[in-house]
Amino acid sequence: MGRPPCCDKEGVKKGPWTPEEDILLVSYIQENGPGNWRAVPTNTGLLRCSKSCRLRWTNYLRPGIKRGNFTEQEEKMIIHLQALLGNRWAAIASYLPQRTDNDIKNYWNTHLKKKLRKNESNSHPNPQNQRSQSSLSSPSSPENRNSSSRGQWERRLQTDIHTAKQALTDALSSINQKPSSNIHDSSLSGSNPCNNQTQASSIYASSTENIARLLQGWTSKVPKKESSSSISTDYYSLGSTLENDHANSREQKPIFNTDLLTENNDRVFRSLFGTIESTESPYSDFSQGTMSPEASLFEQESKPSNVGRGTTLSIIEKWLFEDCSIQQCGSNGRDEDLTDMPLQEHADFL
């Protein structure tokens, strides 16, 4: 026998989440921590399946998510990681800690794919350069492997990997140089990071974004080491300094601006948490420097894949630098022969 069934298919609600549902979910996770999704619909009264709850949390409500406005650096990383890893969006997302796999996937499908195709067609107007199509889908896909000889494919893969590593090196060094670059700037700034694109987004969208901000307020409550000038607005920081810094580097002020809430949300919030005064949030204890177990749970879970945390970036950096040094000392200069550099073309136009 297996486990009991996850959720009834009957009476399960579908479609967009309402602010009320978001708040129910958030408040439940705040109390119980993420995980055990099977129990969530039952315990919250949400008429959603566990899968939907998990998805809503990981793609939208989870703290530390940055939305919209992909930076050039992020674009480059996505392009090269896609070339390196194929359509493994979760793996790619693990290198962009503020982005969800869904977000990256959408961005790839709606922006980057077109951009690359356009670029390809500009630089290779003749129809025999059909490889651009296949390289856009996945360089490691079986059909690509079949379409060229094994030797050619392996050579290209080597090249692609090398180029991707180079791009990652560039990206990482640039991140290290500019720790407060625009990758980090929007989450707590109070401005809508999606403003350019979604100026006309619905009240609902902005409310849920506010919920995410609220969560950020709940979970970013670590005592300030110094009344720091630098507002590190990032939930995570990239690079090797993350482990030491990220607990101290976050803006502390809890965001409980009830003006941001719709009247409806406000009502639900008040029913859930009582009256919210501007100077005193129901979670004001957090801001006094004591992180609740739930908050640390958020911290641990907020990026589910452990691949994506700073430690891994350090590993990657190590990997990159080791590889670079090998190539520098190295011997055969094998790359010189590899003139077929599709990835470089992709990077150049950015």
Partner DNA sequence: AATAATGACAACCGCAGCTAT
Partner DNA sequence: CATAGCTGCGGTTGTCATTAT
Binding site for DNA (CB under 7 A): 1-7, 13-17, 35-38, 48, 50-52, 54-56, 59-60, 67-68, 87-91, 101-103, 105-107, 109-111, 114, 138, 194, 197-202, 205, 304-305
Structure tokens at 49: 């399946």
Q: How far apart are CA 238 and CA 241, in angstroms?
A: 7
Q: How far apart are CA 157 and CA 86, in angstroms?
A: 11
Q: Kindly state the smallest distance separating residue 39's Cβ from DNA, in Å.
A: 8
- What angle (nearest 5°) sits at the alpha carbon of residue 222, between those of residues 220 and 224? 115
Q: Kindly state the smallest distance separating residue 148's Cβ from DNA, in Å.
A: 20
Q: Kindly state the smallest distance separating residue 276's Cβ from DNA, in Å.
A: 24
Residue closer to DNA by CB (options 3, 150) is 3
Structure tokens at 107: 């961005």
Residue closer to DNA by CB (options 55, 276) is 55
Q: Going by C-beta distance under 8 Å and a sequence separation of 6 or more, which residues neighbour residue 279?
A: none
Q: Kindly state the smallest distance separating residue 226's Cβ from DNA, in Å.
A: 35
Residue closer to DNA by CB (options 100, 233) is 100
Residue closer to DNA by CB (options 1, 329) is 1
Residue 277 dihedral angles phi and psi, to the nearest 5°: -90, 150
Residue closer to DNA by CB (options 286, 298) is 298
Q: Kindly state the smallest distance separating residue 55's Cβ from DNA, in Å.
A: 6
Q: Is 323 left (phi over 0), alpha (psi -120 to 50) or beta?
A: alpha
Question: Helix H segments across 139-292?
Answer: 142-147, 150-177, 203-219, 242-245, 263-273, 284-287
Q: How many CB atoms sit inside 10 A of residue 242's CB?
A: 20
